[in-house]
């Protein structure tokens, strides 16, 4: 799949942007704070429905304006898709696909598949489990709408159940109703997450081997807080504590993911370079998985990451860049890297405008 056209109106520092993209490699060059990351963020929102940054939709609207549009025309194997997102300051948000308004975000998910590389990727190891959960939730949702729906429902139930637990006199019967739903959706989430990790592991192992010249065996691990089988028992066991602290202590909202390289935990023992390489392998594996499952190539978003990689890793990344639509941002045009690439279009960004 590839994006033909992208239009931004009053999106962050863009007043009006209207660009036709190349099917292959698109490079956006600009100094700091000109709008490179904002542009990639808009594409992320088209794919996932909301930003990867922790913030409210309102913050996406240009400071001096009342509302924004993000519009795109996309070519897929068998059809074209038109997506429009509108957000205004009164918290109104509407999304239309091929001129039809959708009432649920789920209808947007998966139309555009993306794999994004950002300088923040290393936070994958430095931050807490919520960052890793959020990352994988977005990736799984892109290829499985049922998962997206289950995870939304699950988080909602956790929130409501927490509210109920805050009432010290809550009866066992009341809680039972919530426990039932918590387990129903929770088990679906656990099942899908472990299935996803298994599928990804099959792919990532070989990719990582080749990225590290056969030196490293990588293992992606799903550290689930509770298994499907033990959910009920563990929930029962932690009831007293849950009542004491007023929140749900068992379930996939406490899951985590980790990597092992040659049997050693990468978060704890890995060097910066090893961690970076693992993330690269992860993303390459995701490209392959999306392709296997949807039959379409995802779109690659690369936010100023090429220069941080060594030669060998750059070459691998370039190999993927040549196969799928890529939107790459950079502050400097590095001749050495660029001469290896088959460039489609180059855009110069300055203060939210193409110059
Ligand atoms: N809602 C908004 N309205 C107007 N401007 C905004 C809004 N949100 C962010 N900006 C501005 O957009 C500018 C460009 O941000 P962006 O992150 O895209 O820069 P960049 O080109 O990626 O820079 P860098 O090379 O430093 O990563 C920032 O200076 C920021 O102040
Ligand atoms: Mg940036």
351 Cα: distance to centroid of ligand 1 (angstroms)? 9
CATH number of the domain encompassing residue 207: 1.20.1050.90
143 and 281 part of one domain: yes
The size of the chain, in residues, is: 355
298 in contact with ligand 1, CB cutoff 6 A: no
> What is the mean predicted confidence (pLDDT) over 71-97?
96
Asked whether residue 325 falls in the same domain as residue 184, the answer is no
Q: How far apart are CA 64 and CA 15, in angstroms?
A: 10
Mutate to test the pocket of ligand 1, among 10, 34, 347 (most ligand atoms within 8 A of CB): 34
Rounded Cα distance between 7 and 9, Å, is 7
Range of the domain at 77: 1-113+298-355
Greater confidence (257 vs 341) lies with: 257
Out of 14, 28, 33, give the residue to mutate to test ligand 1, the one with the largest number of ligand atoms within 8 Å of its CB.
Answer: 33
Residue 302 and residue 345 share a domain: yes
10 pocket-lining for ligand 1 (C-beta < 6 Å): no
Is the residue at 118 inside a domain? no
- Grade residue 323 by pLDDT with cuts at 50, 70 and 90: confident
> With contact defined as beta carbons under 8 Å apart, do 40 and 116 qualify?
yes
Same domain, 77 and 156: no
Q: Do 143 and 73 share a domain, yes or no? A: no
Same domain, yes or no: 30 and 74:
yes
Does the beta carbon of 331 sit less than 6 angstroms from any atom of ligand 1? yes
pLDDT digits (tens, 9 = 90+) for 8-32: 999 999 999 999 999 999 999 999 9
Q: What is the mean pLDDT of residues 136-143?
A: 94
Residue 104: C-alpha distances to residues 4, 40, 96 (Å):
25, 23, 10
Share of the chain above pLDDT 90, in %: 81
The confidence score (pLDDT) of residue 309 equals 82
Q: Give me ligand 2 centre to Cα 87, in Å.
A: 23
303 alpha carbon – ligand 2 mean position (Å): 7
270 & 137 share domain: yes
Q: Which of 336, 325, 329, 353 is nearest to 25 (CA)?
A: 325
* CATH code of residue 9: 3.40.50.300
35 lines ligand 1 (CB under 6 A): yes
pLDDT at 155: 96
Atom in ligand 1 nearest the alpha carbon of residue 63:
3
pLDDT at 312 over 90: no
- Answer whether residue 239 is part of any domain: yes
Mean local confidence (pLDDT), 267-291: 94
Report which bound ligand comes closest to the CA of 35: 1
Percent of the chain with pLDDT over 70: 99
Taking Cα atoms as reference points, which of 68, 104, 111, 61 lies closest to residue 86? 68
Top mutation candidate among 14, 36, 57, 348 for ligand 1, by most atoms within 8 Å of CB:
36
pTM: 0.92
For residues 286 and 325, state if they share a domain.
no
Q: What is the pLDDT of residue 198?
A: 98
User: Could you identify the atom of ligand 1 that is nearest to the CA of residue 59?
Assistant: 1
Q: Which of 280, 295, 310 is the last residue of a domain?
A: 295
Task: Render 25-54 in DSSP notation, one character per residue.
Answer: EEEEE--TTSSHHHHHHHHHHHHHSS-SSS
CA distance 146 to 148: 5
351 lines ligand 1 (CB under 6 A): no
Q: Atom 5 in ligand 1: which residue has the minimum CA distance?
A: 13
User: Taking residues 280-294, what's their average pLDDT?
Assistant: 95
**Secondary structure (3-state) at 1:** coil
Do 243 and 261 fall within a single domain? yes
* CA atoms in the 13 A half-sphere facing the CB of 306: 29
203 in Cβ contact with 251 (< 8 Å) = no
Q: What's the structural domain count of the chain?
A: 2
Least trusted range by pLDDT, from 68-72, 173-177, 289-293: 173-177
> What confidence tens digit (pLDDT) does each residue in 202-248 have?
999 999 999 999 999 999 999 999 999 999 999 999 998 999 999 99
CA of 331 from ligand 2 middle (Å) equals 9
Ligand nearest to the CA of 14: 1
Provide φ and ψ at 62, rounded to 5°. Answer: -55, 135
- Confidence band for 92, pLDDT divided at 50, 70 and 90: very high
pLDDT score of 54 more than 80: no
Q: Are residues 79 and 164 in the same domain?
A: no
Predicted confidence (pLDDT) at residue 321 exceeds the cutoff of 90: no
- 335-343 mean pLDDT: 86
Could you tell me the distance, in angstroms and rounded to a whole number, from the CA of residue 150 to the centre of ligand 2?
A: 33
> Is 327 contained in some domain?
yes
């Amino acid at each position: 799949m590839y994006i033909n056209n992208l239009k931004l109106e009053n999106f962050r520092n863009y007043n009006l942007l209207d660009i036709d993209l190349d099917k292959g490699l698109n490079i956006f060059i600009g100094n700091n704070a000109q709008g490179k990351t904002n542009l990639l963020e808009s594409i992320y929102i088209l794919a996932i429905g909301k930003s990867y940054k922790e913030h409210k939709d309102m913050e996406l609207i240009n400071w001096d304006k009342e509302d924004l549009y993000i519009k795109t025309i996309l070519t897929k194997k068998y059809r074209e898709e038109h997506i429009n997102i509108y957000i205004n300051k009164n918290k109104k948000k509407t999304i239309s696909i091929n001129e039809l308004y959708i009432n649920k975000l789920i209808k947007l998910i998966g139309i555009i598949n993306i794999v994004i590389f950002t300088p923040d990727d290393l936070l994958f190891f430095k931050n807490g489990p919520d960052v890793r959960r959020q990352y994988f939730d977005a990736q799984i949702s892109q290829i499985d709408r049922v998962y997206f729906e289950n995870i939304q429902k699950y988080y909602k139930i956790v929130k409501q159940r927490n509210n109920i637990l805050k009432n010290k006199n809550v009866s066992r019967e009341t809680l039972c109703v919530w426990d039932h739903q918590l387990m129903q959706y929770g088990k679906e989430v656990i099942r899908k997450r472990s299935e996803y990790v298994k599928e990804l592991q099959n792919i990532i192992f070989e990719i990582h081997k080749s990225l590290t010249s056969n030196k490293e065996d990588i293992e992606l691990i799903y550290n689930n807080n509770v298994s499907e089988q033990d959910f009920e028992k563990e929930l029962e066991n932690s009831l007293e504590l849950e009542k004491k602290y007023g929140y749900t202590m068992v379930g996939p909202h406490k899951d985590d993911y980790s990597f092992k390289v040659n049997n050693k935990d990468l978060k704890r023992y890995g060097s910066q370079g090893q961690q970076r390489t693992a993330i690269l392998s992860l993303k390459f594996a995701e490209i392959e998985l999306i392709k296997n499952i949807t039959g379409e190539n995802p779109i690659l978003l690369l936010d100023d990451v090429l220069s941080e990689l060594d030669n060998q890793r750059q070459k691998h990344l370039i190999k993927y860049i040549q196969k799928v639509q890529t939107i790459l941002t950079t502050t400097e045009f590095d001749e050495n890297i660029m001469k290896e690439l088959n460039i489609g279009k180059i855009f110069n960004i300055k203060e939210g405008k193409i110059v």
